[in-house]
């Protein structure tokens, strides 16, 4: 998740956007928008998990966390608009959801959903009647791109005007360099010469395909669809994926040839797969079950082939689009500021109370296997925060848990440790549970981003441990690239150590470099007939591609109310230099407060 956008949401009366990195730190004055931004993530997460996505419900599993229970609590108090908008970016795709309140002021329905990839195209789903009928507008080009794999998407980007021209230039450069070498290569390099000839031919073939694709694109316009669908006609819950899938299916079947459904008897299935009856005329149950399963698989394949034939595309289906759309949904985890209280036993049956109840119970139920990522995480970080060597959580009749910290041979009840230890352990168990859950998830959800929201992680912590939090988030985000932390904090120590980490790594981008940088292998130079190395002239320098800069690990925002001083924005980014120094100023009363009080003592 690279970005979140808001408009008419609580304090955000005008459009606001925040770019996100693996560790995004939010700081600033009270009532400046930090908590509202956290609530926006929670509202969005509940909506994306709803079965009915034609409306915005406020009673989802995170309702007790965001505490927004009505339209009046959702929108900006002074804006007066009947529309609320929220969106995010995942990879190259941007998603925008626009909601409108009903005339009675109680229900909020999805008026517009927009998805786009700026270099390719877009999709829009719109309703003007309170989410009863939606109009889908999408091009085949966009469907092709979304449903392609990574290599397929790369090839599609190469096929369209900008990318096509760029990659044509790249292959032209390659061919020119190879021709230059082949004209001058010495007699001792026959084996190398053959490899270079094959390499040249591959580049020529790629170049011809790109030129052919460009020519065909100039001759024919892209196919665009305008499809209306009533949500009452959908099979199952009206999620966005289901609505779009249903609209594409409707278009495909309306434009294709209907196929008469045929029922098959057991005898026909048996004959089809060579299952013979015994002397009593009865079929073996297991053999028949296998035959039916094979029959259903063939039917499903035939149905898929029919869909592909109808749409005129051999590898694009509405189901693929729905799967890809749903795989872009981020998983949002939240940990509030009030994480624990001291008790011998923590009740869990109600699911209410302090965060430690829910976190410890979840951790115990998921289990911490030997050698797992969760176990390695706790084994590494518990001693660094001086909590202990490990933790043991015991479930008592599904009604309570007992939390004991292991220190050598000792087992210490969490209630006998300091309040800060409980706060820290809750946070570590929360992150460990996310690692556990990810390992237990299916292959489909393994690739989904986990956005981890943590409010005031520094609460009740010694300054040294507040500083160490920066290392906790940085190292964990680097090791587990699917994790993304959004931290609300007032801790100067946490932010200062983030600056130090940036400096020590040689810059914010250096924190995300691989431990071992890839080095270009330099072999023996190819020589000409006179035994001199063949040097490529400067004119052959490749100009067709530029390497994109990797985003930094840390991003820091100072949030404040819009004013003339901050150009009427909701705060600003504190940009980091390579030496860890901020290029921008904090608002008054943050890092300068301690210095001012020191001067007051003089």
Give pLDDT tens digits for 467-497. 999 999 999 999 998 899 999 999 999 999 9
Report pLDDT for 509.
Answer: 72
pLDDT tens digits, residue range 515-538? Answer: 334 333 344 678 877 788 877 776
pLDDT at residue number 255: 67
pLDDT at position 466 over 50: yes
Asked whether residue 560 carries a pLDDT value surpassing 70, the answer given is: yes
Look at residue 562 in the predicted model and tell me its pLDDT.
72
Concatenated DSSP letters for 426-437? Answer: HHHHHHHHHHHH
Instruction: Give 572's pLDDT tier (boundaries 50, 70, 90).
Output: confident
Residue ranges of E strands in 374-429? 390-396, 400-407, 410-413
Cα separation of 226 and 567, whole Å?
41
Residue 570 has pLDDT above 90, yes or no: no
pLDDT for 96: 97
What pLDDT, on the 0 to 100 scale, is given for residue 315?
35
Confidence of residue 151 (pLDDT cuts 50, 70, 90): low
Q: What is the pLDDT of residues 79-128, one digit of tens each?
A: 777 899 999 999 889 999 999 988 777 778 999 999 999 888 899 999 97
Per-residue confidence band for 2, with pLDDT thresholds at 50, 70 and 90:
very high
Q: Over 60: is that where the pLDDT of 599 sits?
A: no
Mean pLDDT of 431-454: 84
Average pLDDT of the residues of the chain? 82
Per-residue pLDDT, 411: 93
Tell me the C-alpha distance between 384 and 427, whole Å: 14
Asked if the model's pLDDT at residue 48 lies above 60, the reply is yes
Predicted confidence band of residue 249 (pLDDT cuts 50, 70, 90): confident
158-171 burial, b at 16+ Cβ within 10 Å, e below that, comes to bbbeebbebbbebb
| pLDDT over 70, % of the chain | 82
Cβ contact 17:40 at 8 Å? no
Which of 140-144, 317-321, 398-402, 430-434 is the least confident region? 317-321
- Which pair of tokens denotes residue 158? 């190469």
Give the model confidence (pLDDT) of 252-295 as tens digits: 777 664 444 456 677 777 777 778 888 777 888 888 888 888 87
Does residue 592 or residue 61 have the better pLDDT? Answer: 61
Higher pLDDT, 518 or 354: 354
Residues 150 and 213: their CA atoms lie apart, in Å, by 19
Please give the average per-residue pLDDT across 178-198, as a whole number: 86
User: Which distant-in-sequence residues (6+ apart) come within 8 Å of 297 by Cβ?
Assistant: none
pLDDT of residue 159: 67
User: Within 10 A of 528 (CB to CB), how many other CB atoms are there?
Assistant: 16
Confirm whether pTM is higher than 0.85. no
Contacts 24+ apart (CB under 8 A), 580-588: 580/499, 580/500, 580/501, 580/502, 580/503, 580/504, 581/499, 582/499, 582/556, 584/558, 586/27, 586/558, 587/28, 587/29, 587/558, 587/560
Q: What is the pLDDT of residue 518?
A: 37
Give the pLDDT of residue 556.
Answer: 94
CA distance 540 to 253: 53
């Amino acid at each position: 998740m690279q970005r979140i956008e808001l408009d008419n949401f609580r304090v955000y009366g005008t459009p606001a956007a925040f770019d996100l990195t693996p560790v995004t730190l939010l700081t600033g004055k009270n009532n400046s928008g930090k908590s509202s931004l956290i609530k926006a993530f929670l509202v969005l997460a509940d909506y994306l998990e709803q079965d009915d996505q034609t409306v915005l419900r406020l009673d989802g599993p995170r309702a007790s966390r965001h505490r927004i229970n009505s339209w009046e609590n959702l929108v900006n108090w002074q804006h007066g608009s009947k529309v609320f908008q929220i969106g995010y970016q995942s990879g190259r795709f941007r998603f925008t959801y626009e909601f409108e309140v009903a005339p009675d002021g109680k229900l909020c329905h999805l008026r517009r959903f927009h998805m786009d990839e700026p270099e390719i195209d877009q999709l829009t789903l719109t309703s003007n009647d309170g989410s009863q009928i939606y109009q889908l507008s999408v091009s085949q080009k966009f469907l092709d791109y979304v449903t392609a794999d990574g290599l397929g998407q790369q090839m599609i980007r190469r096929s369209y005007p900008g990318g096509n021209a760029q990659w044509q230039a790249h292959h032209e450069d390659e061919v020119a360099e190879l021709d230059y070498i082949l004209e001058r290569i010495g007699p001792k390099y026959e084996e190398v010469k053959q490899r270079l000839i094959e390499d040249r031919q591959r580049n020529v073939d790629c170049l011809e395909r790109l030129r052919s694709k460009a020519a065909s694109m100039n001759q024919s316009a892209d196919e665009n669809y305008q499809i209306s669908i009533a949500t009452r006609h959908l099979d199952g819950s009206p999620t966005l994926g289901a609505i779009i899938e249903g609209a594409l299916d409707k278009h495909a079947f309306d434009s294709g040839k209907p196929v008469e459904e045929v029922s098959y008897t057991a005898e026909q299935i048996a004959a089809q797969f060579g299952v013979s009856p015994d002397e009593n005329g009865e079929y073996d149950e297991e053999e028949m079950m296998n035959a039916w399963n094979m029959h259903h698989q063939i039917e499903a394949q035939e149905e898929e082939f029919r869909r592909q034939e109808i749409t005129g595309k051999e590898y694009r289906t509405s189901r693929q689009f729905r799967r890809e759309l749903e795989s872009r949904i981020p998983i949002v985890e939240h940990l509030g500021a009030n994480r624990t209280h001291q008790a011998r036993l923590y009740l869990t049956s109600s699911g209410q109370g302090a965060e430690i109840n829910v976190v410890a119970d979840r951790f115990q139920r998921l289990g911490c296997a030997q050698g797992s990522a969760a176990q390695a995480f706790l084994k590494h970080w518990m001693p660094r925060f001086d909590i202990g060597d490990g933790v043991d959580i015991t479930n008592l009749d599904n009604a309570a848990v007992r939390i004991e910290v292991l220190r050598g041979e000792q087992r210490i009840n969490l209630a006998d440790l300091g309040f800060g230890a409980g706060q820290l352990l809750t946070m570590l168990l929360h992150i460990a549970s996310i690692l556990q859950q990810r390992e237990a998830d299916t292959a489909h959800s393994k690739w989904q981003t986990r956005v981890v929201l943590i409010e005031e992680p520094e609460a009740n912590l010694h300054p040294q441990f507040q500083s160490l939090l920066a290392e906790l988030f940085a190292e964990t985000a680097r090791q587990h690239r699917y994790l993304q932390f959004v931290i609300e904090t007032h801790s100067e120590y946490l932010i200062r150590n983030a600056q130090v980490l940036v400096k020590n790594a040689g810059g914010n981008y250096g924190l995300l470099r691989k431990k071992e940088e890839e080095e270009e292998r330099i072999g023996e130079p190819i020589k000409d007939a006179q035994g001199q190395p063949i040097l490529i002239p400067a004119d052959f320098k490749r100009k067709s591609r530029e390497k994109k800069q990797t985003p930094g690990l840390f991003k820091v925002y100072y949030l404040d109310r819009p004013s003339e001083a901050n150009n009427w924005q909701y705060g600003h980014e504190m940009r980091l230099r390579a030496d860890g120094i901020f290029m921008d100023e904090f608002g008054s009363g943050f890092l300068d407060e301690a210095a001012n009080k020191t001067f007051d003592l003089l």
